[in-house]
Chains A and B, each alone.
Chain A
Amino acid sequence: MQYFVQQLINGLTLGSIYGLIAIGYTMVYGIIGMINFAHGDIFMVGAFTALIVFLVLGALFYSVPVVIALLVMMIVAMLLTSLYNWTIEKVAYRPLRGSFRLAPLITAIGMSIALSNFVQVTQGPRNKPIPPMVSQVYNINGISVSLKQIIIVVVTALLLALFWYLVNRTSLGRAQRACEQDRKMAALLGIDVDRTISITFIMGAALAAVAGTLFLMYYGVIAFSDGFTPGVKAFTAAVLGGIGSLPGAVLGGLLIGFIESMWSAYFSIDYKDVAAFSILAIVLIFLPSGILGRPEVEKV
């Protein structure tokens, strides 16, 4: 039982990170119906920004309190990563908005390749390890919970609450939901569609940057190629929860996190990704539009 709870906590941590990335996929998909393949690399750029900020802080000041360091890393990563995603949307996706469906998918794949190789070229191909930032571990009834895990879950919960408020209670969120339902009608009613889409990309990137910072803090290492696997898993999570649905993305992220940690605990660690992908395939066969997704109604 203790072991199970332990794995549950590990899964929750992992799932929080996936959930944060998955929101970016699902929002962009909801609003412009496009798989933003570069999102995993946006996550990696966020983590790398946090890494560089961490090193700069270490070089400039003798000692920085961990809370402040984390906050600064997170904020700078959010800002710069948002700038990346905003630029990418403007340069690579917006000109193709009226084009056929696969065109932005291809530019997204191109951008994904370009981003990860840009980081490789400018920062070198090696793994970048940092010294552990937070190392307290609490032991409750034989279940060990590290402070890192608590930070991840708390930060994710706070951000999701903020995000929920933004989408459901503000005029910006209303504009976003309107664009999601009918872009043309929203434009006719005076919503600046381009601006709304840009903001969607910025929000997705900011969440991915937080995920990147938390990932860096949790694992303590990042490399230029680390965007792909979490990216694909987060995308899997978004599809599993029903792409386009925001609660679905979080639910899917948590599910993928649980599946992974349970599978590696009880079966084999080698096949944890295989398990996650197989479960995705099985779920989609029985629920073809994900767990919380609305079935697409096709009008003829």
Chain B
Amino acid sequence: MAVTVSPESDIVATPIQRALKEAFYAGAISLGLFVLFIGLKTGQNISNELVVTTRWGLLAAVVIATAVGRFLYVAYGQPFMASQKITNVATGLLPASVASRFFQLPWFIAAVVAAVLLFVLNNSLAGWVGAEPAGYLQFLRALAIIYVLACVIYYFRAFIHANFTKLGVTALVLYPILVVAVLSLNAWSIASGLQGSLKWVDNFGIQILIYVMLAWGLNIVVGLAGLLDLGYVAFYALGAYAYALLATHFGLSFWILLPAAGAMAALWGVLLGFPVLRLRGDYLAIVTLAFGEIIRLVLINWREVTNGSAGISGIPKVSFFGLMSFNVSDPNYIAKVLHIAQSGAYYKIFLYYLILGLCLLTAFVTIRLRRLPVGRAWEALREDEIACRSLGINTTTTKLTAFATGAMFGGFAGSFFAARQGFVSPESFVFLESAIILAIVVLGGMGSLVGIAVAAMVMIGGTEALRELDFLKQIFGPDFTPELYRMLLFGMAMVIVMLWKPRGFVGSREPTAFLKERRAVSGSFTKEGHG
């Protein structure tokens, strides 16, 4: 057989040459992509006409950064990763080797000392060095704390792996108490500790847990039954509006309306499920998306009932099982009953435990259902619908129960959301929310409750944390608002995480039904979301 050698392959390109070429291409492409969007800016002049202003400096910076980044990646990043792989194989230290080099005891001690010092001296340091460097110091402190936590997780990984659920639940239960305790100690007063905990409990704790609950609910439909649902937010909206309308018009309590909202969402799940049962895969996806949009459009346009895009405000708060209320004016206000100082934090902490309870309920029901015949039928349906039907499983009822159960948890989360915000409007139930929830389910590794919780924490917590990066203002000038970049980074993070771990954070499956021995299966052997 004649071997033809093309003339190019005679000259073997060194990595640097190759990197230069790649960098040139990357720069050229980014120039093409950004020349109009970053190089020029459309803005309004005084007479309200659109005019373009140029930003060539920024454009040049972005293009050069792309080229340099590509160069470094091809010239040093790729060879490093390749050699790392070889070293790992040679020394038998598989992925742990990089981590064990990164997490070393001296560094750990240094980080602990730095974190503690910065924490204790926070206020005096701020006065000493001025506000500007203090921002950097706070960022440094956050980095040190993250490093310490990562170290602890790394060294106790075997223990954590073995007792993950117990540890996770304990940490979640203790979280508000810890936050209040640390902040009170820091400021040396309980009142300011409670006040400061608002942000941590509300923005981080409750926000993340709502998404955990929604994602766990959607997981029943997508992860277990394998039905791709792009309109899950519709059930969330139904639950929220059910609570908002019934509570404001009839004054019913949250504890009655919570199951009612869940039942109503489940009913709608069945109503939606019936017509679309014959559809498969992407047709199902588009009809659920359409359903989500229809619900949102009806909420906007049915002004007599839903008050249109203005939304419903003044939704009553949740009471402490009717025993104590969280309204300052009520005679049974919690601070009056328990004879403690007034604070808005009690309500947030109570809501935190409420949503935590709802989440645990979802997880418990999911785990239990997976062991019941219906749960096994869901999983069988996900793996192979035809085999399922041949074995005499009624696919209609199986799909309907999955839809209804998933929708019910969406409804619960919705009524909680309405109670927490005190205000609902169609703005909160756009397709983006469905997409975020679905992304969390997939990024977590579909079907895995732990993976989904981790994904929710990373994606939602990460974007919330961007609000805290005020010190960036000192680098990029006072006009710089990190919040603006929140969704941009969120979208990019979705892409990057998916490319990095296409099977999600927990890519293996533990089968619920097994012969003799339980063995984890790589996610690659299962096919989800085929409808």
Contacts and interface: CB of A to CB of B under 8 A. Distances in A.
A137 B132 CA distance: 61
Contacts of A143: none
Interface in A105-130: 105-107, 109-115, 117-124, 126, 128-130
Nearest to B384: A300
A298 B298 CA distance: 37
Given A232-B431, A270-B301, A111 B491 contact: yes
Interface in B221-236: 222, 228
Interface stretch (B2-10, B172-180, B250-258, B522-530): B522-530
A51 B222 CA distance: 40
Interface in A274-300: 274, 277-278, 280-281, 284-285, 288-290, 296, 298, 300
Interface in B482-517: 484-485, 487-488, 490-495, 498-499, 502-503
A84 interface: yes
Nearest to A239: B286
Contacts of A126: 44
Nearest to B34: A122
A199 B177 CA distance: 57
B99 interface: no
Given A228-B431, A281-B275, A289 B283 contact: yes
B451 to A, nearest CB: 14
A48 interface: yes
Nearest to B282: A35
Contacts of B40: 52, 55-56
B494 A110 contact: yes
Contact of A103 (B282, B435, B492, B502): B502
A49 interface: yes
Contacts of B438: 106, 109
A284 B502 contact: no
B529 A102 contact: yes
Contacts of B95: none
A123 B37 CA distance: 7
B232 to A, nearest CB: 13
Most central of B278, B282, B289, B523 by chain A CB within 10 Å? B282
B439 A110 contact: yes
Chain B interface category by residue count: 35 or more
A72 interface: no
Contacts of A120: 484, 488
Contact of B287 (A106, A232, A284): A284
B43 interface: yes
Contacts of A55: 40, 42, 50-52
Nearest to B287: A281
A99 B488 contact: no
Contacts of B276: 281, 284-285
A29 interface: yes
B118 interface: no
B390 to A, nearest CB: 9
Contacts of B492: 110, 114
B357 to A, nearest CB: 30
Contacts of B386: 298, 300
A128 B42 CA distance: 8
A169 to B, nearest CB: 29
A109 B499 contact: no
B435 A52 contact: no
B279 interface: yes
Contact of A288 (B49, B278, B491): B278
A244 B42 CA distance: 38
B16 interface: no
Contacts of B491: 110-115, 117
A273 interface: yes
Interface string B243-280: 00000000000000000000000000000000110111
A100 B499 contact: no
Contacts of B283: 239, 243, 284, 288-290
B29 interface: yes
B502 to A, nearest CB: 4
Contacts, number: 184
A92 interface: yes
Contacts of B367: none
A193 interface: no
Contact of B42 (A29, A51, A236): A51
Nearest to A55: B52
B192 to A, nearest CB: 36
B442 interface: yes
A96 interface: yes
B439 A106 contact: yes
Contact of B488 (A117, A274, A296): A117
A53 B42 CA distance: 11
A59 B43 CA distance: 13
Interface in B438-456: 438-439, 442-443, 446
A144 interface: no
A107 B497 CA distance: 9
A25 B278 CA distance: 23
Contacts of A92: 495, 499
Contacts of A95: 499
B37 A118 contact: yes
Interface in A15-60: 29, 35, 37, 48-49, 51-53, 55-56, 59
A33 to B, nearest CB: 8
B527 A243 contact: no
B297 A273 contact: yes
Contacts of B439: 106, 109-110
A120 B488 CA distance: 9
A276 to B, nearest CB: 8
A72 B488 CA distance: 30
Contacts of A100: 502-503, 523-524, 527-529
A35 B529 CA distance: 13
B291 interface: yes
Contacts of B446: 102
Contact of A121 (B432, B484, B498): B484
A61 to B, nearest CB: 14
A55 B293 CA distance: 34
Interface of B: 29, 32-33, 36-38, 40-44, 49-52, 222, 228, 275-276, 278-280, 282-283, 285-287, 289-291, 293-294, 297-298, 300-301, 386, 431-432, 435, 438-439, 442-443, 446, 484-485, 487-488, 490-495, 498-499, 502-503, 523-524, 527-530
14 contacts: A52-B36, A55-B42, A59-B51, A83-B32, A100-B503, A103-B498, A103-B502, A115-B491, A117-B487, A118-B37, A123-B37, A243-B283, A284-B279, A290-B283
Interface of A: 29, 35, 37, 48-49, 51-53, 55-56, 59, 80, 83-84, 87, 91-92, 95-96, 99-103, 105-107, 109-115, 117-124, 126, 128-131, 228, 232, 235-236, 239, 243, 270-271, 273-274, 277-278, 280-281, 284-285, 288-290, 296, 298, 300
Given A121-B488, A277-B291, A289-B283, 9 more contacts: A59-B52, A99-B503, A103-B498, A110-B439, A121-B484, A129-B50, A130-B50, A277-B294, A281-B276
